[in-house]
Amino acid sequence: MAKLHFLYSVMNAGKTTHLLQVRHNYIENGGHVLLFTSLVDDRFGVGKVKSRIGLEADAIPLMKNDDIGAIVAAEHATNPVTVVLIDEVQFMEADQVRQLAWIVDGLKIPVMAYGLKNNVYGVLFSDAIAVMMALADDFQEIKQLCHCGRKATMILKYDRNGEAVRSGEVVEIGGEGRYVSVCRPHWFDGEIGAAARKLLV
């Protein structure tokens, strides 16, 4: 039975690597995979999904008004789709997440959506994530460690002095050097850890 899967984590936990490995496995077994990503994240070029360890693949870039259900339905009518993979689902619109649910229920195609659950201010990242949390059939956390060794569940944004940033824009594309994944106590304390402090410029 097709399901809507939400695979989530904090930053730098290997979500994209996991997604690209799943894509490879489906293709290796003869599957027809549709991979989507958001136009918001164009660090590696429009329509590119790339992991920190160098794996990459072409993807269909989504704009805010794109009807992903219609895109998948049109492709499925000519070339049956085995699975739909979504990178950076937190940047999608809430209605697009509802369309993902329709792809599962109406077209009977499994959807695996990868993204960040929380933003740097300790709330659900976006309306899209709130809808995903409400509609998903299956949840899988991709785990990451805090600098203290505990499980990281939060994302801490910090400035050039290593001080926690508690207001302003949530998203700073390309600003990976200003984010660190930490446990909840260190998120509240604003402690970025020794490794991140060594990289301060």
> CA-CA distances (angstroms) from residue 155 to 15, 99, 142, 166, 199?
15, 28, 14, 11, 17
**Which two three-digit tokens encode residue 65?**
């008004």
Q: List residues with catalytic annotation.
A: 88
Q: Hey, how many other C-beta atoms are within 10 angstroms of the C-beta on 25? A: 12
Contact 61, 39 (CB under 8 A): yes
Query: Which amino acid makes up residue 75?
Result: E
Residues 6+ apart with CB under 8 A from 184: 153, 154
Name the more confident of 34 and 200: 34
Q: What percent of the chain has pLDDT over 70?
A: 88
Query: Is domain 4-141 annotated with CATH 2.60.40.1240?
Result: no
3-state secondary structure 5-49: EEEEECCCCCHHHHHHHHHHHHHHCCCCEEEEEECCCCCCCCCEE
Q: Is 141 helix (H, G, I), strand (E, B) or coil?
A: strand
Distance CA 148, CA 195 (A): 11
Give just the sign of the alpha carbon dihedral 13, 17, 23, 27: negative
Angle, nearest 10°, between helix axes 94-107 and 68-78? 30
Residues 6+ apart with CB under 8 A from 81: 32, 33, 34, 72, 75, 107, 109
This prediction's pTM: 0.89
**Which two three-digit tokens encode residue 115?**
């993204």
pLDDT band at 13; cut points 50, 70, 90: confident
Classify residue 151 by its DSSP letter: B
pLDDT band at 171; cut points 50, 70, 90: confident
Domain spans, the chain: 4-141, 154-198
pLDDT digits (tens, 9 = 90+) for 39-70: 765 555 556 766 666 667 678 888 888 999 99
Res 160 pLDDT > 90: no
Average per-residue pLDDT for the chain? 89
